[in-house]
Amino acid sequence: MEGGQGEEQLKILSSAAKFFTEERLKNFSVVGNDGTRIRVNREWLIARSVLVGALMEESALETSVLRINVPGATFEALYEYLCTGTTQLLRFEKTIGASVEEKDVVEVQSLLSLLVAADYCELSSLSNNVSDGLMRSLEACPSLSLLVLEHCKTDFLTDLAKRAQATLWSNPFRAMDTVAMKHLGEECLDLLLRDEFITADEFEVFRLVQKWVEVNGEAASAPNLIDHVRLENISAKLLSAEVKASQLVSQKDLLEAYEKQALRAQAIHNDVPQGPRYLPNWRHTSTNRAIGHEEEMLDILDCSPMKVGEYRWAFHVQGMSQQPAWIGVALSGKDMDRETSLAKHEYGWAYSSQGGIRHGDRNEQGNPCFKAGSKVTFTLNLSDDNETNGTLSAAIDGGDEFQLFSDLQRELDGPGGFVPAVSLFAPATIEFMGIQRLR
């Protein structure tokens, strides 16, 4: 279509839309699931929404009413968009400030309802506009994340909820404003605290609970919520000066946190850690990607060896060659030949993109395969008993976990431990997503 013709058609469409908004031409009623009745032009609605048009043709031939499973006010905003190309609700991102106000609560609920309705009516342009506007608003006002998470009850909104969760944990202090906290329910907060991949410092997680209890006057709920805070990940200084002073944590729980810190320090021969429960790769290692080589070579990720305990980490497979990729663990503290594939190395335990596993003479098939785009999560369990072998399990894209090896052995008295390792052919790329210690 020539540019001039396209512009002319847009003018005609715009004029037609304004024409059909006139009251005298509204010849049909849509009734929302809350009983609200909205008058529309039947022919215009059929022309602009394929799904709604089909419903009208199917169920409303003999009537002048269609009942639809969205709130009436939401459908009214949707019809406004169909007629004018915009809606009052889309101006929300221009009015949001640095913190949440009461008026924002209602507007966020309306926008999320409109997003679901746009998806229901198969209006992708409206869905994209609402979603993009909400995501930009989250960047400007991180405390909006609490409202979004509280009201994202639909599977369709999962991606938006994930963005809100990431915003919350990257800006926990900015998210703790009073109005947002008032509208965050205990059930939603409980689910947030159970997240295994929280990137905020654990002390900030505690502060989030403390602020919520203060704002909502819910001291009785504090013990259950505090159970999800890993107090042992908070420095002894802050435990003594801040956590104890809050009076939200019992003396017994404080003593258990100190004890866990001491046991962990003894186990890893290091200082007591402070910080997040999950460390993204760029804060945990000096290299965050493994790139394929012309020849199959061993790449050992730069991180502290995993010794006693249970650990979890993930590889994000960003690209694959036609040759199989091998990912798994290698035993550190050994003079390892980097020109030998992980799959052929005597100190390597390797899992193939084609579903095979290899260690020494062991070569087996039959496990699930992974591919470009897959996220492979490993769980390594190492006992402090020299007679007990360690286990290595995997899960692909959040699916069921399956065991790869049950024969990992290391030298408890030596410097050795296990480290994530890969062997790739070019042009493969794998990103290491960080190690999380579970116990």
Beta-carbon contacts of 62 under 8 Å, excluding residues fewer than 6 positions away, are none
Are residues 236 and 375 both part of a single domain? no
**Would you state the pLDDT for residue 190?**
93
Q: What's the pLDDT at 302?
A: 65
**Do residues 67 and 108 both lie within one domain?**
no
CATH number of the domain that 29 lies in? Answer: 3.30.710.10
Number of domains in the chain: 4
Q: Quote the pLDDT of residue 413.
A: 45
Token readout for 264 is: 């962990």
Last residue of a domain, one of 131, 152, 182: 182
pLDDT of residue 281: 41
What angle separates helix 144-151 from helix 186-193, to the nearest 10 degrees? Answer: 100
Question: Residue 363 domain-assigned?
Answer: yes
**pLDDT digit string (tens) for 386-421?**
666 788 999 998 888 999 988 777 654 445 678 888
What is the average pLDDT across 360-378? Answer: 87
Phi, psi at 97, each rounded to 5°: -100, -160
pLDDT value for 322:
79
Q: Quickly list DSSP for 47-64.
A: HH-HHHHHHHHHH-TT-S
Residue 280 pLDDT grade (very low, low, confident, very high; cuts 50, 70, 90): very low
- 293, two tokens: 């080589």
Structure tokens at 320: 């694959």
Comparing 346 with 126, the larger pLDDT belongs to: 126
Measure the CA–CA gap between 358 and 405, rounded to whole angstroms: 9
Lowest average pLDDT, out of 88-92, 208-212, 236-240, 363-367, goes to 88-92
Q: Do 327 and 386 share a structural domain?
A: yes
pLDDT band at 224 (very low <50, low <70, confident <90, very high): very high
Q: Are residues 73 and 94 in the same domain?
A: no
| 37 or 11, higher pLDDT | 37
pLDDT cut 70: percent of the chain above it: 75
Residue 97 maps to a domain: yes
Segment 302-316 shows an average pLDDT of 80
Q: Which structure tokens are listed for 142?
A: 């991180």
Cβ 270 vs Cβ 196: under 8 Å: no
Looking at residue 42, its pLDDT comes to 74
My answer on whether 218 and 232 are in the same domain is yes
Are the beta carbons of 112 and 104 closer than 8 angstroms? no
Kindly state whether residues 330 and 373 are assigned to the same domain. Answer: yes
**Peptide bond before 427: cis, by omega within 30 degrees of 0?**
yes
Tell me whether residue 274 is in a domain. Answer: no
pLDDT band at residue 310 using 50, 70 and 90 as cut-offs: confident
> In CATH, what number is assigned to the domain containing residue 293?
2.60.120.920
Where is pLDDT greater, at 369 or 81? 369
DSSP 237: H
Segments forming the whole domain that contains residue 377: 281-437
**Final residue in a domain of this structure, among 220, 239, 268:** 268
Q: Which amino acid is at 75?
A: F
- Where among 84, 101, 131 does a domain terminate? 84
pLDDT (tens digit, 9 = 90+) per residue, 170-201? 888 888 989 999 999 999 999 999 988 888 89
CA angle at residue 190 from 186 to 194, to 5 degrees?
Answer: 170
Asked if the model's pLDDT at residue 98 lies above 70, the reply is: yes
Distance CA 140, CA 49 (A): 33
Position 192 scores a pLDDT of 92
Say which range, 6-15, 51-60, 206-215, has the weakest mean pLDDT. Answer: 6-15
Q: Are 296 and 372 in a shared domain?
A: yes
* Beta pairing, strands 418-424 & 289-291: unpaired
**Residue 193 belongs to some domain of the structure:** no
Backbone angles phi, psi at 317, to 5 degrees: -80, 100
Q: Tens digits of per-residue pLDDT, 43-97?
A: 777 766 665 656 666 555 556 677 777 788 888 888 788 777 788 888 888 888 8
Q: Is residue 65 within 8 Å of residue 42, measured between CB atoms?
A: no
- Please tell me which residue, 5 or 130, carries the higher pLDDT value: 130
Answer whether residue 324 is part of any domain.
Answer: yes
Q: Give the model's pLDDT for residue 248.
A: 92
**Least confident stretch, 68-82, 134-148, 274-288, 415-429:** 274-288
SS3 of 279-328 = CCHHHHCCCCEEECECCCEEEECCCCCECCEEEEEEEEEEECCCCCCEEE
Ordered strands of the 28-31 beta sheet: 37-40, 28-31, 65-67
The two most distant CA atoms of the chain are separated, in Å, by: 88
Question: Above 50 in pLDDT, residue 287?
Answer: no
196 part of a folded domain = no
Choose between 268 and 318: higher pLDDT.
Answer: 318
The confidence score (pLDDT) of residue 286 equals 34
Answer yes or no: are the C-beta atoms of 116 and 148 closer than 8 Å: no
What's the CA angle centered on 355, arms 349 and 361, to 5 degrees? 40
User: Residues, the chain, total?
Assistant: 439
Considering the domain architecture, whether residues 288 and 429 belong to the same structural domain is answered as yes
pLDDT at 270: 45
Q: Are residues 432 and 396 part of one domain?
A: yes
Mean pLDDT rounded to a whole number for the chain: 78
Q: Report, as an integer, the average pLDDT of 238-255.
A: 90
Question: Closest Cα to residue 67, out of 115, 28, 113, 33?
Answer: 33
pLDDT score for 321: 76
Are residues 80 and 109 both part of a single domain? no
pLDDT at residue 53, rounded to an integer: 59
Confidence of residue 158 (pLDDT cuts 50, 70, 90): confident
In a domain, residue 175? The reply is: yes
- Say yes or no: 79 and 94 in one domain: no
The whole-number pLDDT of residue 278 equals: 55
Q: At what angle do helices 102-120 and 124-140 cross, to 10 degrees?
A: 150
**pLDDT score at 78:** 83
Query: Is residue 398 in some structural domain?
Result: yes
Whether 318 has a pLDDT exceeding 60, the answer reads: yes
93 in the same domain as 66: no
